[in-house]
Structure 1
Amino acid sequence: MVEITAAEVARRLGVTDRRARMLLTDGTIRGRQLPSGDWLADNDDVIRYLQRRRKGAGRGLDRATAWAILYELSGVRAAHLLPRATYTRARARIRTWPAERLATEVASRTTTHRYRSANVAKAQAGLIRTARAASDLIGSDLLPDMRRVAGYVPADTTVADYARAHFMVADPSGQDVLYENTAPLHSYTEPLPAVVAADLAVSTDTRERSAGLHALDEMKRSWLRSHTR
Structure 2
Amino acid sequence: MKYGNRELTAHEAAKVLEISERHAEALLKDRLIAGRQLRSGVWLTSKASVERYRATAQSGRGRALSASTAWGLLWELSGRRPSWLPSSTLARVRRQIETFSPEEIVRATSGRTRARFYTISRGTSDISWGNSLVRTGRPAARHLGVRAGNFNYASGYVRDGTSADFARRHAMSEDYEGRNVLFDNTLPITYPGAAMPDAVVAVDMTLTGGEYERERGLLALAMLQRKWMEARQKI
Normalised-by-shorter TM-score class? 0.7 to 0.9
Q: For the residues of structure 2 that align with 1:120 and 1:128, how far apart are their CA atoms?
A: 19
Task: Give yes or no for the alignment of 1:46 onto 2:54.
Answer: yes
Task: Give yes or no for the alignment of 1:207 onto 2:212.
Answer: yes
Q: For the residues of structure 2 that align with 1:87 and 1:169, how far apart are their CA atoms?
A: 39
Task: Give yes or no for the alignment of 1:63 onto 2:64.
Answer: no
Give percent identity, aligned residues only: 30
Gap change, CA 1:144 and 1:61, over 3 Å in 2: farther
> Contact 1:23 / 1:29 at 8 angstroms: preserved in 2?
no
Task: Give yes or no for the alignment of 1:193 onto 2:195.
Answer: no
SS for the counterpart of 1:122 is coil
Aligned length: 202
Q: Which residue of 1 aligns with 2:103?
A: 100
SS for the counterpart of 2:79 is coil
Q: Which residue of 2 aligns with 1:225?
A: 230
Partner of residue 23 from structure 1, selected from 8, 18, 25: 18
State the shift of 1:29 in Å.
4.0
SS for the counterpart of 1:185 is coil
Q: Which residue of 2 aligns with 1:148?
A: 153
Q: Which residue of 1 aligns with 2:38?
A: none
Q: For the residues of structure 2 that align with 1:81 and 1:132, how far apart are their CA atoms?
A: 27
List runs of 5+ in structure 2 lacking aligned partners. Answer: 9-13, 26-32, 36-45
Q: For the residues of structure 1 that align with 2:19 and 2:96, how far apart are their CA atoms?
A: 31
Q: Which residue of 1 aligns with 2:136?
A: 130
State the shift of 1:168 in Å.
1.3
Gap change, CA 1:182 and 1:145, over 3 Å in 2: farther
State the one-letter code of the partner of 1:76: R
Partner of residue 77 from structure 2, selected from 49, 53, 73: 73
State the shift of 1:49 in Å.
3.5
State the one-letter code of the partner of 2:106: A
Q: For the residues of structure 2 that align with 1:188 and 1:105, how far apart are their CA atoms?
A: 25
Higher mean C-alpha deviation, range 219-228 or range 157-166? 157-166
Q: Write the deviation string for residues 49-91 of structure 1: whole angstroms up to 9, x where unpaired.
A: 43xx34xx7974111111111111211111x111111111111
SS for the counterpart of 1:212 is helix
CA RMSD of aligned residues (A): 3.2
Q: Write the deviation string for residues 81-140 of structure 1: whole angstroms up to 9, x where unpaired.
A: 1111111111111011011110121111111111112336424752111111112132x1
SS for the counterpart of 1:77 is coil
Gap change, CA 1:66 and 1:72, over 3 Å in 2: same
Partner of residue 119 from structure 2, selected from 111, 116, 121: 116
State the one-letter code of the partner of 2:16: R
Query: Which TM-score applies when normalising by structure 1?
Result: 0.75
Gap change, CA 1:20 and 1:99, over 3 Å in 2: farther
SS for the counterpart of 1:215 is helix
SS for the counterpart of 1:86 is helix
Q: Which residue of 2 aligns with 1:82?
A: 85
List runs of 5+ in structure 1 lacking aligned partners. Answer: 7-18, 33-38
Q: For the residues of structure 2 that align with 1:20 and 1:188, how far apart are their CA atoms?
A: 43
Q: Point out the structure with the larger helix share.
A: 1
Gap change, CA 1:74 and 1:170, over 3 Å in 2: same
